[in-house]
């Protein structure tokens, strides 16, 4: 079977400024990306090329956004896939898809006349989970192909490829992926703190008319432990409540209802998956 072609969108329009909070993750990521940009210096100093960056953290905290912003920051082609896409019944299919993904990334970069390409694999644990003594041959082949692709990344090739992967569960990853020379950088992407939450709310309020009684700082106070994805949902739900009320602006009451709704949805999700 041919690999599903993930749409390549390059250069990305999403930038680090569109990501709320996550200051440390952004700093660590841009620092790591310097390795891609300052390749000449890296080669002169004999530093081995950076092949992979692993983003770890709970769902909805902006890992995909960070990968896209990384592509824009480095002016790279961008191609994305999810680890769950590689789970196939037949031996070899998953491995072929990995090969196609990296080839496609190189092709896209060449087509767009860019020097580098970023391959983003979300839910990498779907491919690179711990191996259990050769019981899953298909799975092993897919992981092996990924390791082969990473090992093949050279500092001097054109276009250069960088793998960014994300997982919610780093402890499940196979040791082969965590060895030096594979994912050399691990970046933690945690739930946002209060300042981060306010920043995220502000970003998602950019296109929304807010009433005077709204304080996003107060909303940030009341959304402890919410992820960026949940905060986006709060702003969106609040706008829907405002529309239902026939209001032209989103009021504090709409935001309060939206917080309850998102919190409730989360609780229901947890109960149904028990
Ligand atoms: P998953 O692990 O579930 O794949 P993720 O960490 O990759 O999640 P994203 O896909 O980056 O999460 O985020 C989902 C959505 O949540 C984004 O499209 C955005 O609307 C919102 N979001 C999450 N984090 C942030 C953030 N830090 N700033 C602004 N928006 C955010």
pLDDT of residue 155: 73
Task: Answer whether 0.80 is exceeded by the pTM.
Answer: yes
Q: Can you tell me the distance from the alpha carbon of 268 to that of 235, in angstroms, rounded to the nearest whole number? A: 20
- Rama region for 41: left / alpha / beta (φ>0; ψ in -120 to 50; rest): alpha
Strand order from edge to edge, sheet including 116-122: 77-82, 116-122, 160-167, 52-56, 183-188
Instruction: Output the CA 106–ligand 1 centroid distance in Å.
Output: 26
Q: How confident is the model at residue 150 (pLDDT cuts 50, 70, 90)?
A: very high
pLDDT of residue 141: 85
Which residue's CA is minimally distant from atom 21 of ligand 1? 229
Q: Out of 68-82, 84-98, 198-212, which region has the weakest mean confidence (pLDDT)?
A: 84-98
pLDDT tens per residue, range 180-201: 889 989 999 999 999 999 999 9
Has residue 242 got a pLDDT over 70?
yes
Mean pLDDT, all residues of the chain: 88
pLDDT tens per residue, range 101-136: 999 999 999 999 999 999 999 999 888 766 655 555
Instruction: Output the CA 178–ligand 1 centroid distance in Å.
Output: 24
Query: Of all helices (H) and strands (E), which one includes residue 256?
Result: helix 252-272
Pocket of ligand 1 (CB under 6 A): 19-22, 59-65, 122, 166, 168, 200, 203, 228-229, 232
pLDDT of residue 198: 98
User: What is the dihedral angle through the alpha carbons of 35, 36, 37, 42, rounded to the nearest 10 degrees?
Assistant: 50
pLDDT of residue 7: 47
């Amino acid at each position: 079977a041919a690999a599903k072609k993930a749409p390549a969108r390059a250069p990305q329009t999403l930038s680090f400024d569109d990501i709320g909070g996550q200051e440390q993750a952004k700093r660590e990521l841009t620092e790591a990306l310097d390795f891609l940009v300052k390749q000449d210096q890296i080669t002169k100093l004999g530093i081995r090329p950076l092949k992979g960056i692993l983003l770890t953290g709970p769902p909805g905290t902006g890992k995909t956004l960070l990968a896209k912003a990384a592509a824009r920051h480095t002016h790279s082609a961008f191609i994305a896939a999810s680890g769950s896409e590689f789970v196939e019944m037949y031996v070899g299919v998953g491995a072929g898809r990995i090969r196609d993904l990296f080839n496609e990334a190189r092709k896209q970069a060449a087509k767009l006349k860019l020097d580098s390409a970023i391959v983003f694999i979300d839910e990498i644990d779907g491919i690179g989970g711990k191996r259990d003594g050769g019981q899953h041959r298909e799975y092993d082949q897919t992981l092996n192909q990924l390791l082969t692709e990473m090992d093949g990344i050279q500092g001097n090739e054109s276009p250069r490829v960088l793998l960014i992967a994300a997982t919610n569960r780093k402890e499940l990853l196979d040791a082969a992926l965590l060895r030096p020379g594979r994912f050399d950088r691990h970046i933690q992407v945690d739930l946002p703190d209060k300042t981060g939450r306010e920043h995220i709310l502000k970003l998602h309020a950019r296109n929304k008319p807010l009433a005077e009684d709204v304080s996003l700082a107060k909303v940030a106070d009341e959304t402890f432990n919410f992820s960026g994805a949940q905060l986006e949902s709060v702003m969106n739900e609040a706008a829907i409540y405002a529309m239902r009320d026939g209001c032209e602006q989103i009021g504090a009451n709409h935001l309060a209802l939206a917080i309850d709704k998102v919190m409730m949805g989360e609780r229901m999700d947890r109960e149904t998956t028990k």
